[in-house]
Structure formats: structure tokens, C-alpha cells
Amino acid sequence: KAGVTQTPRYLIKTRGQQVTLSCSPISGHRSVSWYQQTPGQGLQFLFEYFSETQRNKGNFPGRFSGRQFSNSRSEMNVSTLELGDSALYLCASSLRQGESTEAFFGQGTRLTVV
Amino acid sequence: AQSVAQPEDQVNVAEGNPLTVKCTYSVSGNPYLFWYVQYPNRGLQFLLKYITGDNLVKGSYGFEAEFNKSQTSFHLKKPSALVSDSALYFCAVRFAQGGKLIFGQGTELSVKP
């Protein structure tokens, strides 16, 4: 069974630009979450989608947005990029929503803002 | 506030020795606890979880974790460390309101031959 696939693996963008990251969950998984990982802040929750609806949102500015499609694939978008947005963005999929369900992570997209 | 703490930034162990990576939590209600491992330039790999029941949970690659409710701890253990266990380990807790995982700051495990 294929794991969580994130594309692209690496991105370099300029301040002020926008970027879209893609995540394909494990087949059959309906819940997709996004996390930002930085050396200073560690792993921080961005948002969670289930059945095309945003169920939870972390404490990030409105420049960060996402969506989920009917096939459970998800995208996240960051507009007006800032240097501080440089991070590893991780997508995780779960079979269903629920506190006891483990999440499986993709390898991440390394975003560098210059 | 609900939180997870990993009190050690780094743990150094000799190969063949037992290892422990510590995690404490602060939550209201029943905790759902997880351990993940991250190798360089990779995503997180699920190791094990505690939901309810037996306080000793067995997971992947020979790892296990002990849930202690009175000490609000969920320490990761392995009887005999391997050099290939060297990686970054994260403890996390998940809440009933949804799928949000709260992570500890991570512990760098270094196993020397």
C-alpha cells in the first residue's frame, strides 16, 4: 500500500510569492492534516480536513489556507510568503477522524523563502 | 493548558544498552498518546500508541512505552539500542475534539557503537 505522498519535495520561493503544496493520503484514508516543522517552533498544527470540510484549524494567519477534494487529496496554499514561512511542511493522513487513530506522515515539502 | 513535554533535548546511549526517552503530558480527560520517529530529511514514522488498557504498549522496531497515569508520563523504551535507532523522537497527544496532534519538542537519540 502506498504511503502518504507529498509534492513537491523541495521548493524555493521569493518573499511575496504564493505557493501550493499537495498531499495524496493513503488509499482509503479520509482525514488529512497539515503541520509546519521549524527548528525554533517544532511541530505545529495547521489544519485538518475530513470529507472535504475543515474540521480544525491551528493558530496561523489567514495567509495559510487549505482544501480537500472528493478523492481526499489535499492542498495547502500560502500567500504573500515571508522569510519565516521557511519550514518543512508535513501532511498526515488517518483512516478516520478520531482521537485514537494514528496519523501517517508523508516525507514533507521543504519550503525555502528567500 | 494541554501540553506535552520531552525534558531531554538529547539522549546518548551505547549500542546494546537499554534506552529511555522521556515524555510527560498535561491534559484534561483521558490522554491518547503517540510516539513518532523522524530520520533526517524524512517525515514522521508512527511507532506506537496508548489508548486504553495495558500500561505497557509494544510498537515497531522493538520499541515499547510505559504509560503511568499517576506520574502523567509515557516514556519510550527499548531493551537493547541499535546504532540505526539514532534519530529524532517525538511524543504527541491527541484530543477528543478532533485530529489535532500536540507534539513535544523532540529528543535527539544518539546511539554510539
Residue A91 near residue A23, CB atoms below 8 Å: yes
Q: Which three cell numbers stand for residue B72?
A: 502523567
Q: pLDDT of A79-113, one tens digit each?
A: 999 999 999 999 999 887 666 788 999 999 999 99
Give residue B96's pLDDT. 60
Q: C-alpha B44: how far from its chain's center? A: 12
Which residue in B47, B90, B100 has the most chain A C-beta atoms within 10 A of its own C-beta, making it the best mutation to test that interface?
A: B100
Give residue A85's pLDDT. 98
User: What single-letter amino acid sits at A54?
Assistant: Q
Give residue A44's pLDDT. 95
Give residue A99's pLDDT. 67
Judged by average pLDDT, the poorest of A22-26, A44-48, B1-5 is B1-5
Three-class secondary structure assignment of B86-104: CEEEEEEEECCCCCCEEEC
- Average pLDDT for consecutive 10-residue bins of chain B (113 residues)? 91 98 88 92 91 90 94 96 97 76 95 96
Q: Work out the percent of chain A whose per-residue pLDDT is above 70.
A: 96
Whether residue B42 and residue A90 make contact (CB cut-off 8 A), yes or no, is no
| Mean pLDDT value across chain A | 94
Give residue B100's pLDDT. 83
Give mean pLDDT, residues A11-15. Answer: 98
What 3-state class would DSSP assign to B76? strand
Residue B45 near residue B35, CB atoms below 8 Å: no
Give mean pLDDT, residues A57-68. Answer: 96
Give residue B98's pLDDT. 59
Q: How many Å apart are CA B73 and CA B69, to the nearest integer?
A: 7
Buried b (16+ CB within 10 A) or exposed e, A94-112: beebebebbbbbbbbbbbe
Q: How many Å apart are CA A69 and CA A35, to the nearest integer?
A: 18
Q: Is A36 on the interface with B (CB under 8 A)?
A: no
What 3-state class would DSSP assign to A58? coil
DSSP letter (8 states) at residue B34: E
Q: How many Å apart are CA B85 and CA B74, to the nearest integer?
A: 19
**A contacts of B29 (beta carbons < 8 Å):** none
| Bridge partners for A43 per DSSP | A37
